[in-house]
Chains A and B, each alone.
Chain A
Amino acid sequence: MVSQIDDAADAFILYDAAALAQWSSLARRSVRHGPTALTARAVMTHFSALELLKSAVTGDKHWTKQWPEAEPKEEYDVVIVGAGGHGLGAAHYLAKEHGITNVAVIDKGWLGGGNTGRNTTIIRSNYLYDESARLYDHAVDLWEGLSQDLNYNVMFSRRGVMMLAHTVHDVQSFKRHIHSNRLNGVDNRWVSKEEAKAICPPLNIRADARYPVLGAAWQGRAGTARHDAVAWGYARSASSRGVDIIQNCPVTAIRRGPDGAVSGVETAKGFIRARKVAVSAAGHTSVLMDTAGVRMPLESYPLQALVSEPVKPVFPCVVMSNTVHAYISQSDKGELVIGSGTDQYTSYSQRGGMALIEHTLAAIVEMFPQFSRMRMLRLWGGIVDVTPDRSPILGKTPVPNLYVNCGWGTGGFKATPGSAHVFAHTIATGEPHAINAPFTLERFTTGRLIDEAAAAAVAH
């Protein structure tokens, strides 16, 4: 555990450099677009220990903007709606792996301001079904090299995810998951309650607990990452390859030509022609797809999370419990990051009911009595788009040249690089990658669902 914390401390230093650069770019927002923007692309600083050292002795004055502000052009090869991790990631892989750089990523707010900046940063791939295991494990594979790939520290920390079993049913269900995962080459193993306690000392394993811990599933390869850095890293990389990132510009409608194919998008800054449109808009996907005449099997729910005051390192891994319904980890800043379930009703309000938070915190205190006097600092909600089978929709649509990446529900962050990677493949080639081929929109007509809902590893 000590080495993990050391890693985190190292990561924090580099992250600070990135944050500094980000702030200095904010300070220089007045820089004009056009040729200046192109110059900024050309001179983007490569982050390294040497650069950090150089800047330390020269007063931190040479950091360049991480990405230039962009005004929309009249036409793009690809317009991606939604500048979260999934959308920006798709732009990065389109540019890097498919050579498609005439791309705009458009967001109604600031980049990474939706669910990318609102999740609890947990990364794992211990899903039951073969299709899901391949998709989420592809993401974990990419997470491992992401900081190097982006030259941006996303602070991926392989601190492990523990899923607690409190009932006989939990034990059976988790062991089934473990066997399924092992057959799929996904790391996951059963640990006794004593082993669980050894991994995570704050855990209460007393037999007289209201919901006693009987054991746990442990995925050591899982962990967390710095969610904002993922969006920033992808934005910086995509932008340096020529992608325009257009913020604070709501897309109001998707337009189709006389042949039925996509012709572009209506935005707050006017109509933008596009040969292909890729929607990666999370909670607002169904609203947007409706404008293209495509009805989606999605409902949007608020999902809440909260953080405590920062404290010294007390919590070495991620712990989740479906039975008492809460999940918790500690950020490198020291805050306890706590996630709740969705509210029961659909909503676009980005906030939820306090009763759910009370319920979540009761569960946390039950499992970790030492946190009973922690003060909670901030509470927020994000709008998650939920499919009937709790698996994403990632691929083509009935509209030619319109692609969609949605339906991640309560667990999209963990899939960010894998999802973005196969989505870029789908957009570039017009056909799904083998990994996302099962995640079609048609499965709701054929009945070939990927039903992670009933037996899911996810907390619903």
Chain B
Amino acid sequence: MILIHCPYCDETLPEAEFTYAGEAHVVRPDPSVSDETWRDFLYIRSNPKGPHAERWRHAHGCGRYFNAIRDTVSDRVLTTYKAGESKPVLPGDVK
């Protein structure tokens, strides 16, 4: 069970309160783009081994979506931030 900090409720709570909602910052392109770009939007995810920006929903709390950066090797949540905020730079990130 991982612990997640809801940036709206300002509380750190067990995973059971939250629903995972996939990779964050996936931007929907204009529908006139090529099939390849549309495929990338629909199906290609970064799936990194390491820090991963992802969406969570505080389903059994405030009900709001927010973003988290979680290390997919340790499963530890490194930071969380509100939806709409840009992805924070973490120590150790490649500039």
- List residues of A whose CB falls within 8 A of some B CB: 284, 286-287, 295-300, 344-349, 351, 353-355, 388, 444-446
Contact = CB atoms under 8 A, between A and B. Distances in A.
A152 to B, nearest CB: 34
Interface in B8-46: 15-16, 19-20, 35-36, 39-40, 42-45
Contacts of A298: 45, 47
A297 B42 CA distance: 9
Contact of B15 (A287, A348, A355): A355
A344 B19 contact: yes
B54 A345 contact: yes
A388 B54 contact: no
B20 A345 contact: yes
Interface in B26-85: 35-36, 39-40, 42-45, 47-49, 52, 54, 70, 72-75
B46 to A, nearest CB: 8
Contacts of A299: 45, 47
A287 B52 CA distance: 13
Given A344-B20, A346-B72, A348-B73, A297 B1 contact: no
B44 A297 contact: yes
A349 B73 CA distance: 5
A228 B4 CA distance: 37
A248 B45 CA distance: 29
B79 to A, nearest CB: 15
Contact of B72 (A296, A348, A351): A348
B66 to A, nearest CB: 14
Contacts of A355: 1, 15-16
B94 interface: no
B47 A346 contact: yes
Given A297-B44, A345-B70, 10 more contacts: A295-B40, A344-B19, A345-B2, A346-B54, A347-B72, A353-B1, A353-B15, A355-B15, A355-B16, A388-B42
Contacts of A300: 47, 72
Interface residues of B, number: 24
A347 B48 CA distance: 9
B18 to A, nearest CB: 9
Contact of A295 (B44, B49, B73, B75): B44
27 contacts: A286-B47, A287-B49, A296-B44, A297-B39, A297-B44, A297-B45, A299-B45, A299-B47, A300-B47, A344-B20, A345-B70, A346-B52, A346-B72, A347-B75, A349-B72, A349-B73, A349-B74, A353-B15, A354-B1, A355-B15, A355-B16, A388-B43, A444-B42, A444-B43, A444-B44, A445-B36, A446-B35
B40 to A, nearest CB: 7
For chain B, what secondary structure do more than half of its interface residues adopt (helix, strand, loop), or is it mixed? mixed
Contact of A345 (B42, B44, B48, B75): B75
A444 B40 CA distance: 9
Contacts of B47: 286-287, 296, 298-300, 346
A127 to B, nearest CB: 21
Nearest to B45: A299
Contacts of A346: 47, 52, 54, 72
Nearest to A446: B35
Nearest to B36: A445
Nearest to A297: B43
Contact of B39 (A344, A345, A353, A445): A445
Contacts of B73: 347-349
Nearest to B76: A349
A446 B35 CA distance: 8
